Structures are given as C-alpha cells and as structure tokens.
Amino acid sequence: MSVRVSFRSEFAKHAIVCFVLGFAFLPLYLMLVISLKSNEQFANNQWFFDAPKDWQWHNWVVGWQSVRDHIANSMVVSVGSVLLCLSIAVPTAYVIARYRFPGRELVYYGLMITMFLPGGAAALVTTFTLISKLGLLNNLGALILLGGVGGQVTCVFILRQFIEDIPKELFESAQIDGAGHLRQMTAIVLPLSGPILGTLAIMQFIGAWNDIMLPLILLRDKELLTVPVGLLRLDGEYVKQYGQLMAGYAISSVPLILLFLFTMRMFVKGLTAGAVKG
C-alpha cells in the first residue's frame, strides 16, 4: 500500500514538473519552428517542423544581419551598466556598513526610501529632460549612466547586509596589520562577496539588456539601437516576415542563455549566501 501511495505521489510530482516545463519551453519551441518557415509554410502549419529539406535557413542569415549590431550595442550598455553600478555600490555599502558617523542610519534609510518612489514611465519626462541637458541624447553613454545608477539602491541594500555579517575579527586583524579601509575592502570584502557580486551583476546585466523604454525614447540612430528596440523594427515595411522575425528573436536570446548556463551555479550560490549564520 505504501509503495503504491509513494508511486502515485512521485508520479504526481513529476507530472506537475513536466507540465510546468512544457509551458516554459513552448515559446522557445514555437520560436525555433517558425524561424525555419516561410510565410506560406507558417500559414499552413504553425505548430510543427516541416521536412528538413524545406527548412528556410535563409531566415537565420537575415536575422543575424538584422540583430548583430543591436547585440553589440546591448553588450556595451549591459556590461557598462554592471561595471558602473558595482563600482559605486561596493564602496557605498562598505562605508554604510563599516563607518560610524552621525546620520549614518539616516543616509541609509534615505536611500531605501527611494526604492518606493515612482520610476519608469512616471519619471520619463524628468529623465529625458536631464539627459537632454547633459547632451547625451542618442548616445549609449546615457543608457549606461541610467542603468548603472538605477540599480544602486538594491545593490547597496544587499551588499550592506552581507558586509555586516562578515566577522569583525577579520577587519580587526587587518587593522592590526596596518590595513586601511581601502585595503580591507579589496582584501576582505571583495573576495568574500564574490557570489553576491556575481548575482547582482547577473541581475543588473539582464535588467539593462531587457530595458526597452529608455532606448526607445533616448536613441534615434538605427546603428545605436539595442536588442529590444531593434527587434521591434524587424517587421517588414509591407509584409511581416515571421520566419526572419523569429530567427532574430532566437539569435538575440543566445547571449542570455549562455549567461544563464555558465553562471547558474554562481547565481544560486549568491542567492543562498548569508542564509546560514554563524
């Protein structure tokens, strides 16, 4: 009896997992199917692959030619945003966690309050005006600046908690050896916070990569468009080429898939870091 119940329980668990995975991978499957079809093939059969001899590999050639410059622009913006964000967030979190000065908590909670302020579309006019006065319209530097600054509060919040959990004896030993705060930050904080920094970098990278509103408003030249905006403009002028469009989507998703595959372990380790105290 117990064996039968156990079998049913395990079967139900696996069935649920397979059901969820099926829904998760269905869009990817359809994207690949459609990317190898002409419009006529798509109209006749949207759900399944045609015979291999009828696959339209030309769609992938056109898709790559359409998105390669956009991928390069997104890489520049995403990597730049990550470097700018972490290069500011790490010292800021260290100062708030380690320095003792009047108003320290006021500064910290003042930063936290900004998490609840309306952003995105609500601040779009203000953001556009500021970028225009800085002379950064139609410039990838504007996206790097906004992306790096936009992720500061979350990074500072997480890093501050992590730095405060580092044993004080490590910092005291470093002080006895004559290490200043800069040396303590580079020799103690950075090596220990590797998984956390990796997780924050991944989150910041994906956020900058997927951002569509700011590039859509701030960029004008086609050569400067990032992937999300470039994909919006892949539609044909008169006829929408679904195969080429899906091929462009598939190619542009490769960097994020590779990022996930090679950093998944670090991402999970960063999420669980600090869960066990002592």
Q: How far apart are the first and last CA of the chain?
A: 44
- Asked if residue 218 is part of any domain, the answer here is yes
Of 9-18, 39-48, 115-124, 201-210, minimum mean pLDDT range = 115-124
Domain of 218, CATH number, reads 1.10.3720.10
Is 219 part of any domain? yes
Give the range of the structural domain holding residue 128, as residue numbers without chain letter: 60-272
Residue 183 maps to a domain: yes
Position 268 scores a pLDDT of 67
Quick one: what percent of the chain has pLDDT higher than 70? 87
Q: pLDDT tens for residues 177-193? A: 787 878 888 888 888 88
**CB distance 56 to 243 below 8 Å:** yes
Burial 84-116 (b: 16+ CB within 10 A, else e): bbbebbbbbbbbbbbeeeeeeeeebeebeeeee
The Cβ of residue 256 has, within 10 Å, a number of other Cβ atoms equal to 17
| Whether residue 247 has pLDDT greater than 80 | yes
Please say whether the beta carbons of 130 and 230 come within 8 A: no
**What is the count of structural domains for the chain?**
1
